[in-house]
Amino acid sequence: MLEIRSLGKRYPGGTVGLTDFSLEVGEGVLGLLGPNGAGKTTLMSILATVTKPTSGTFLWQGRDAARDPLPLRRELGYLPQDFGVYPKLTGREFLLYLGRLKGLSGADLDRRVQELLELTNLHGAASRRLGAYSGGMRQRIGIAQALLGDPRLVIVDEPTVGLDPEERVRFRNLLAEIANGRVVILSTHIVSDVEAVASHIAVIRQGRLVLHATPEALLLRAAGRVFVAVVSSDRLAEAQRLDGVHVSSLMRRADGVHVRFVTNGGTLPGTREVEPTLEDAYLLANLAAAPAPVTGFFGKPTVSERA
């Protein structure tokens, strides 16, 4: 449905946002993961036809959306990362305005706005001015506007920022629900959000696509590369700086600090292999091709390992 071909974006100051980014996206939720400044928002902004690419193109339903964005816009629901609202309008007025820009009118528009206000639990605050909304309520009005026009492509950039845990879970469920027959692109830092709903995951780093796979394939790739070791507190700082490993979590216990880490190297003496999570798999994808792992740090190799 959405085909991205060698997309590139270079900003006027020379900053590179995207480089030769190619990807095919079908129905379902695509989770877009990547560190800060990786180019996620640039990609989302281009796909939402707000920013023009400097090279490459992308096709929506087989039509070049970079050259002719209108067909895509007709089927797009977009929630940008940072979006403003008009503080003097009420929530309902704001949705009615954006609905009109989408081409909705009359009873259709009124009904859809009411449904979305109820869906996002803002019906009680619909007549309140947006300037008086809390951060979470604003985020919800953003989500509501993205669903105004029966979108076939939904692009949401960091949608769960500002939502409390319960809201986050329910929003994820909503995304999973609307993904039926639609393309949903979800960009986030929160791996658990992606884990819960994504049918595919794309990892982006320095403007390039690093990895594109199903969550299962990612987990399989990480198997045998996630370990837990116990180190003393005074050696913790050293452990965190080791080459070839990425510490994913720390837990202080009576016997020392339990360090969970991922590595591109082999089995490490003195450590215990554990089941990978998607977060481990993501960290592993971001770990540069590592030099020889620093096995000696955690313990001496056993006789069988030496052999």
Partner 1 sequence: MHFAAPDALVRVVPRDGFVRVVPRDGLVRGVPRRGARRGPVMSASVSPLWAQVRAELTMRLRSFATPIAILVYLAAAFFWVPDPNGHAASLSWDLPDGRVQAPLYGAGYVGFALAILSCVFLGLGGFYLVAGSVKRDRRSGVGAILAATPLSKSAYLGGKLAANLAYLFVLDVVGLLAGLLTFLRWGTGPFSPIAFAGPYFLMTIPAIAAVAALAVLFDVTPVLRSRGGFVLWFFVFLFGLVKLPLDLAGIDMDSGRPTSASTRPIFDPAGLASDQYLVRRTLPPDVRGISAGHVSRTQPIERVPWSGVPITAEFVAIRALNLAFLVVPFGLAVLLFDRFDPARGKKRVRRAGPFARLAARLRRGENAVGDDAGAIVRRAAPLTPVTARPSAAAAILAEARLIWESASWVKWPLALSAILAGLLPGNFAQGIFLLLLVPVISEVAAREDLAGTRALVFSQPGVPRSPVLWKTAALGLFVLMIGAPMAVRDAFAAPARGLACVAGLAAIALAASGLGALSSGGKLFTGLYVVVWYMAMSGASFADFTASLGDKPEPLWGAVYLGIAAVLVLGALGREKLRRA
154-183: which residues touch partner 1 (CB under 8 A)? Answer: 163, 166-167, 170-171, 173-174, 177
Inter-axis angle of helices 91-101 and 135-146, to 10 degrees?
30
DSSP code at position 130: G
Burial zone of 77 (CB within 10 Å; 0-12 exposed, 13-18 middle, 19+ buried): buried
Nearer to partner 1, 25 or 218 (CB): 25
Q: In sequence order, which residues have a C-beta less than 8 Å from that of residue 116 and are 6 or more positions away?
A: 95, 144, 145, 147, 148
Find the binding residues for partner 1 in span 46-75 (CB under 8 A). 48-50, 52, 70, 73-74
* Contact mark string toward partner 1, 83..122, x via CB under 8 A: xxxxxxxx-xx---xx-xxxxxx--xx-xx-xxx-xxxxx
Nearer to partner 1, 68 or 220 (CB): 68
Are 283 and 222 in contact by the 8 Å Cβ rule? The answer is no
Are 37 and 28 in contact by the 8 Å Cβ rule? The answer is no
Nearer to partner 1, 273 or 305 (CB): 305
Nearer to partner 1, 12 or 14 (CB): 12
Among all chains, which residue has been given the structure tokens 């590139």?
8
Please select the residue that binds partner 1; options are 20, 24, 150, 273, rule is CB under 8 A: 150
Interface region with partner 1, contact rule CB under 8 A, candidates 14-22, 188-196, 218-226, 237-245: 237-245
Find the binding residues for partner 1 in span 119-138 (CB under 8 A). 119-129, 131-132, 134, 136-137
- Nearest 5°: phi and psi at 140? -70, -35
Q: Does 184 bind partner 1 (CB under 8 A)?
A: no
Q: How far is the CB of 212 from partner 1 (least distance, A)?
A: 25
Q: Does 241 bind partner 1 (CB under 8 A)?
A: yes
Nearer to partner 1, 17 or 149 (CB): 149
User: Could you tell me how far CA 262 lies from the centroid of its own chain?
Assistant: 21
DSSP code at position 96: H
